[in-house]
Chain A
Amino acid sequence: MHAILRAIDAFLERPLSAASRGVVLLGMAALIGGGLLPLWRIQLVAPQYEEGLTLVMYSHAIAAGHGGQDLNEINTLNHYIGMKPIVQSDFAEMTWMPFAIGIFALLALRAAAVGRIRHLVDLGVLFLYFGLFSLATFAYRLWSYGHHLDPHAPMRIAPFTPILIGQQQIANFVQSSLPMAGTACMGAFLMTVVAAIWLSRPEVS
């Protein structure tokens, strides 16, 4: 038992191989990409909106189709069912996510420069937590928008949860929601951390 713990301890203290460091640097680039590229896209299509109304979520902002007009249009339509207007300032994560991404990028840089396995394990675990937490808050926000409807709205509809991944019919709209390149980058970053640990395992060194 003691021997196993010592072996793990030794493993965690192992310096990273050159390949691992390269992979981590590549991952850092992907992470920065994830901070800049769109993370998620929500689209609403109806007969009178064949071209679709589009919302694109970034780590730092909400962008909308037709030069931003789609957000106004979605909010105008949603007022009929008493949904709260979607405004960027309500998304607190859009202030802390870029900061967190910066921290993770610095941690990745440290691992690449003076890294040991334990740096990567810390980085991977923390980043996994960050990713799951962000997804959960996003899912909660979708639920919250569909479940806090003004009872005095002109149209009363049953509370609903906009779909997170996939598509569904809501009244006359087909709502679809899918992750985009930024999320793929985030996932790729996590994969590079795992890959870097793998590349520095004892057999390889």
Chain B
Amino acid sequence: MSPRTRLLSAGALLTATLLTPACRPPGSRAAAASATSPAASTYVAPGAKDQFYLFYSGGHSGQVYVAGLPSMRHIATIPVFARYPATGYGYDEESRKMLGEFTWGDMHHPGLSQTDGRYDGRWLFVNDNANNRVARIDLRDFKTRQILGPIPNSSGTHGSSFVTENTEYVLVATRFSIPLPKGRYADPQRYEAEFSGMVSGLAVDPKSGTLSVGWQILTPPFNWDLGSTGKGPSSGWAFWTSYNSEMAGTGLEANATRLDRDYAAIVNWRAAEQAIKDGKGTLTGGVPMIDPAKVPGVMYFLPVPKSPHGIDTDPSGRWIVASGKLQPVASVFDFEKIRQAIDRHEFTGNVRGVPVLNYEALLEGDVPVGLGPLHTQYDGKGNAYTSLFVESAVAKWRLPPWSPEDRKDLNKVVLDKIPVHYNIGHLVIGGSDTREPYGQYLVAMNKLSKGRHVSVGPSQPESSELIDITGSKMGLLAEAFTEPEPHFAQILKADRITPIEVYPKGENHDADAVWSADQTGITRTGNKVVVKMMAIRSKFVPDVIEAHAGDEITIHLTNVEQTTDMIHGLGIVEHDMNVVVDPGETKTVRFKANKTGVYPFYCTNFCSALHQEMQGYLAVKP
């Protein structure tokens, strides 16, 4: 080889090493190929109906969104904690009164009412973590009927809405602790000494569903997180996880993650109810409150893995699963053993008078489900499904009883894992919190949707994914982009309920309702003008309201239609007013006519061929 050829070959080598091949980064997965079968299994033909309702919380939008399964189509929005002009919510007197001084809420965990541990399709309860409220939606008409709160002595209703087996209570635990009584100042540096948390039992009237605070239990200032209610062997009990058993007032990211264990609360709510009946509560903030140090038997603490999130009771009521979001395991506890330990007073000590159970003795097993386990749901066939935030996946695993072989290596009970996109928070299987889960679909509610949809700019929706859990392997079926931000959801069989589609005239007991033109009218008392108005295709009667500047105007608007979907709206130009009345419904709006001039009003909800003609005038004289 001559020096010249050597030079050339050295040059070639150099060139070759300079070219780095462009390839997929190691570890990345190819995008899932879409097959025909998942599309077919989620296709609901035009005119055909979904099998299930999916009620998902809208997070800080404050609303409940209703979608159908398996299509994942958004069908309706139920406004709860925020105004919603589309249905006139927050403009009429009744809904304005419910919303009170707040314009928003932070909705987390919807809970369906139950009878005998099964969904009875009557009510959906939802919480507002921001303003300490719990609301009740009536599933007869899909309307918010009550907002209870701010709940006394409480701050942050994150640990709700967990409904007991027969809807005796909606149970609530506080995420935040505050100095009590509410409104008192204390230095947050004195957190451990001055602050308190609270567990509340909101009693539900069995007929009307009306919520009221039944009792409260004072707790140390842990941050109560999530919970579930018992059934079967754990009937009458409820469970919550907490973080910050360190009781740090500030810098929680580092200061609330020091200990290797945090406490779960094991609450005997029947005992709490009895204690109140026996007069063992003290009236605090207008509510009977139990100090668990003075009333034994209502509350116990169970150490669980560090900084846990979900604690979920299985459909049998025997297995309680807590996931430590900073430890890669789901810890399974046997409630029968917990019960025995309580009965035999086998405690390792106490925290502020609350007995602490022995973790090692009660742990059935730590299932190595994967990284960042958050919540667990059940299919009713002995399987559990845990969301893995860090790993961005759902793990399917088998509940006890386990064989000695399984116990040696609990990796064996982890049956399947499916990636989701991305960073799953909650997941839901229909009926998982009842005795009889549907066990057909799982909806993964993912926190990040980046890159999964056509770009909509920096404000991104969340992604929710439908997973088929009928086979031995989970299968991803469909994906939808859900309003920010679904924290949890409930799935209800569509045939479980038969909502009304018009308000029957005979049930309208509003004293100010009018059903024909001759009942309508305008009366004036001093500077108060009261209008009884009817809306019918395609007119308002009366269609002229005369007033003087400064008058207070009250309009009782009745939609006299009895036909499905014949909805009318009343929007008043430049008066920030839009009320919407469903067929057979009467709503009342009240406002000041402050400005002189003539202001048109018109029907805002398209009703008929002459919808455009459906208008009138508010004529205000000086």
* A residues lining the B interface (CB < 8 Å): 17, 19, 22-23, 26, 30, 33, 37, 43, 45-48, 50-52, 54, 152-155, 167, 171-174, 176, 180-181, 184-185, 187-188, 191-192, 195, 199, 204
Contact = CB atoms under 8 A, between A and B. Distances in A.
A43 B26 contact: yes
Contacts of B10: 23, 26, 188, 191-192, 195
A181 B422 CA distance: 34
Contacts of B421: 47
B422 A48 contact: yes
In the A-B complex, the 9 residue pairs with the smallest Cβ-Cβ separation, listed nearest first, are A174-B27, A184-B17, A45-B27, A52-B25, A47-B392, A19-B3, A48-B422, A154-B257, A176-B26
Contacts of A184: 14, 17-18
Contacts of A154: 253-254, 257, 307, 326
A66 B444 CA distance: 29
Q: Which of B3, B253, B392 has the most A CB atoms < 10 Å from its CB? A: B3
A181 B46 CA distance: 57
Contact of B17 (A45, A171, A181): A181
Given A23-B10, A152-B258, A154-B253, A45 B26 contact: yes
B252 to A, nearest CB: 9
Interface string B1-28: 0011011001101100111100001111
A30 B14 contact: yes
Contacts of A167: 26-27
Given A174-B26, A180-B20, A188-B14, A23 B7 contact: yes
Contacts of B451: 50-51
Nearest to A171: B371
B422 A47 contact: yes
Given A26-B7, A172-B371, A172-B392, A50 B18 contact: no
B17 A188 contact: yes
A155 B392 CA distance: 17
A178 to B, nearest CB: 9
23 contacts: A19-B3, A26-B10, A26-B11, A33-B18, A45-B25, A46-B27, A47-B29, A47-B392, A47-B419, A48-B423, A51-B25, A52-B27, A152-B254, A153-B254, A154-B253, A155-B257, A171-B371, A172-B392, A174-B26, A181-B18, A191-B10, A192-B10, A204-B3
A43 B450 CA distance: 20
Contacts of B28: 45, 50-52
B120 interface: no
Given A154-B254, A155-B326, A184-B17, A195 B390 contact: no
Given A43-B26, A50-B29, A195 B6 contact: yes
B448 interface: yes
A52 B22 CA distance: 14
Contact of B7 (A19, A51, A155, A187): A19
Interface in B396-451: 419, 421-423, 448, 450-451
Contacts of B372: 172
Given A47-B391, A50-B451, 9 more contacts: A19-B6, A19-B7, A46-B27, A47-B421, A48-B422, A172-B392, A181-B18, A187-B17, A188-B17
Contacts of B391: 47, 172
B374 to A, nearest CB: 14
Contacts of B17: 181, 184-185, 187-188
B151 interface: no
Main secondary structure of the interface of B (DSSP, over half): loop
Nearest to A189: B14
Contacts, number: 94
B393 interface: yes
A130 to B, nearest CB: 19
A88 to B, nearest CB: 22
Contacts of B423: 48
A8 B13 CA distance: 31
B390 to A, nearest CB: 5
B257 to A, nearest CB: 4
A150 B390 CA distance: 20
Contact of A172 (B29, B254, B390): B390
A48 B392 contact: yes
B393 A47 contact: yes
Contact of B27 (A22, A30, A171, A176): A176
Q: Which of B28, B423, B448 has the most CB of A within 10 A?
A: B28
A174 B27 CA distance: 6
Nearest to B393: A47
A13 B372 CA distance: 67
Interface in B440-474: 448, 450-451
Contacts of A199: 3, 6
A12 to B, nearest CB: 21
Contacts of B27: 45-46, 52, 167, 173-174, 176
Contacts of B392: 46-48, 172
A64 B10 CA distance: 31
Nearest to B448: A48
Nearest to B251: A152
B390 A171 contact: yes
A198 B421 CA distance: 58
Contacts of B419: 47
A105 B391 CA distance: 48
B451 to A, nearest CB: 8
Contacts of B6: 19, 195, 199
A17 B13 CA distance: 22
Contacts of A176: 25-27
A181 B120 CA distance: 67
Interface in B356-412: 371-372, 390-393
A63 to B, nearest CB: 14
Nearest to B31: A50
Contacts of B393: 47
Contacts of A54: 25
Nearest to A183: B17
Contacts of A173: 27
Nearest to A167: B26
Nearest to B11: A26
Contacts of A174: 26-27
Contacts of A191: 10
Nearest to A198: B6
Contacts of A33: 18
